[in-house]
Amino acid sequence: MPEFLSALTQQPCRLSTPALVCSLGDNLADIAQRLFSGERGLTPTDSFTPGRSLPLGLVHTKLPDMQAWPVEHRSRNNQLLAAALEQLAPELAALRARQPAARVGVVLGTSTSGIGETEQAVAYFQRENEWPASFVYQRQEIGSPSAFVAAHLGLDGPAYTLSTACSSSARALASGRRLLALGLCDAVIAGGADSLCALTVNGFAALGAVSEQPCLPFSANRCGINIGEAAALFLLTPETGGIQLAGYGESSDAHHISAPLADGSGALAAMTAALAMAGITAEQVDYVNLHGTATTQNDSMEAQAIHALFADRVPCSSTKALTGHTLGACGALEAAFCWLALREGYLPPQINDGIVDPELAPIRLATADAAPLHRALTNSFAFGGNNATLLLERTDD
């Protein structure tokens, strides 16, 4: 094995306590309680689709005031990140106390960035025939989230944003691990954020992919997704112990601009690669967080991939039934749910109507049980056949 590949495989990557803001809450105690009890955090609203009420994973937390920020950083997306950064502050302060000159990088995933603010500016232009004085294009640039975090914290390490649709923040975590393995950073803030806006809600509606009811992943009656918003961050450090990002797998089946490859082979390749990097077998995985969008095609192909690798042995669930699909943030958010499952020893239950789809390959859907969990795998699959899988492992110390 080439030396740099060996370094990637052997590099420890400790995940800090996650910093989360989502429709289940803004602190780990509340989020864990709702996650493990299967409480949905969906709000019916027609705010983005006038005249058509949809259940959305809205964040109701009061977010940090952004009026003192540079105008190019003033977006709801960055407010979500700022709220998460407040939770991450103790971990970051402890790192800087140990290593005052630590090289801290930032790798984030998003798909919306500040597009919501541009929508407001366009509406103003249509009314007034001029742009609002506060409008700057930079707010909607894909690089805005990482630029904001680096500026907000005064960091000068590598800072960049990935946008691969729904696998964005999962890939950001994998990318952060690579920065550590290559010795380019001493620590990396990695994760993602996406905020609700008309573009995404109406875009998925135009595809006929949204459900007007709370979504039903892996049910025979599933008919589409709910959209949500969130920010999820970790501090990655090259330390042993704690909960490790033990492996990741990435693949691209490039089958279709929006539909997944029906046989699940792209998803299977990503999962297999994550297991290989961690040096474990499928039998050693205790829980799988499914991508589970509740669309007909995604759930079908993912069930095939899961069955091919795990049969119906490992408990699985899609937490998008609780939070909605948080798009570019979902990979990091659901990695955080796996982190909580490993720490607490509880399974996030699969919430749907209990109607089994006989057309799906048989998999074991999780119930709200206590279980000794050591390893959890989480899937994120995106438009264009862009697939990412993360493998988290709880160590004994």
* Domain map (residue ranges) of the chain: 3-394
| Neighbouring residues of 233: CB distance < 8 A, sequence distance ≥ 6 | 18, 19, 20, 81, 84, 85, 87, 88, 189, 190, 191, 332
Locus of tokens 């539909």:
259
pLDDT digits (tens, 9 = 90+) for 128-157: 999 998 899 888 899 999 999 999 999 989
pLDDT digits (tens, 9 = 90+) for 15-61: 999 999 999 999 999 999 999 999 999 999 999 999 999 999 999 99
Taking the C-alpha atoms of residue 158 and residue 184, their distance in angstroms, rounded to an integer, is: 8
Torsion of CA 339, 306, 167, 217, to 10 degrees: -90
Instruction: Give pLDDT, residue 6.
Output: 56
- Which class for 338: exposed (0-12), middle (13-18), buried (19 or more C-beta within 10 A)? buried
- Contact predicate 348/318, CB 8 Å: no
Instruction: Give pLDDT, residue 383.
Output: 81
Measured in degrees and rounded to the nearest 5, phi and psi for residue 359 equal -80, -15
Residues 356-395 as b or e (16 or more Cβ within 10 Å = b): ebeebbebbbbeeeeeebbbbbbbbbbebbbbbbbbbbbe
Taking the C-alpha atoms of residue 189 and residue 348, their distance in angstroms, rounded to an integer, is: 26
Taking the C-alpha atoms of residue 35 and residue 345, their distance in angstroms, rounded to an integer, is: 12
Q: Name the nearest CA neighbour of 59 among 189, 197, 188.
A: 197
Measured in degrees and rounded to the nearest 5, phi and psi for residue 75 equal -150, 155
Taking the C-alpha atoms of residue 380 and residue 397, their distance in angstroms, rounded to an integer, is: 29
Distance of alpha carbon 48 from its chain centroid, rounded? Answer: 22
Instruction: Give pLDDT, residue 19.
Output: 98
What is the CATH class of 3-394?
alpha beta
Q: Determine how many CB atoms are found less than 10 A away from the CB of residue 283.
A: 8
> Which of the residues are catalytic?
166, 291, 325
- Contact predicate 203/115, CB 8 Å: no
| Neighbouring residues of 320: CB distance < 8 A, sequence distance ≥ 6 | 215, 217, 225, 226, 228, 291, 292, 293, 294, 326, 330
Q: Name the nearest CA neighbour of 51 among 205, 184, 165, 187.
A: 205
pLDDT beneath 70, residues of the chain: 1-9, 397
Measured in degrees and rounded to the nearest 5, phi and psi for residue 209 equal -105, -5
Q: How far apart are the first and last CA of the chain?
A: 30
Instruction: Give pLDDT, residue 8.
Output: 61
Read off the DSSP letter of residue 362.
P
Helix, strand or coil, per DSSP, at residue 147: helix
Taking the C-alpha atoms of residue 215 and residue 82, their distance in angstroms, rounded to an integer, is: 29
Read off the DSSP letter of residue 138.
G
H helix runs in the chain, sequence order? 3-10, 28-37, 76-98, 115-128, 144-153, 168-181, 198-206, 265-278, 296-310, 320-323, 330-344
What H or E segment, with its residue span, contains residue 43? strand 43-45
Instruction: Give pLDDT, residue 68.
Output: 95
Instruction: Give pLDDT, residue 311.
Output: 95
What H or E segment, with its residue span, contains residue 289? strand 287-289
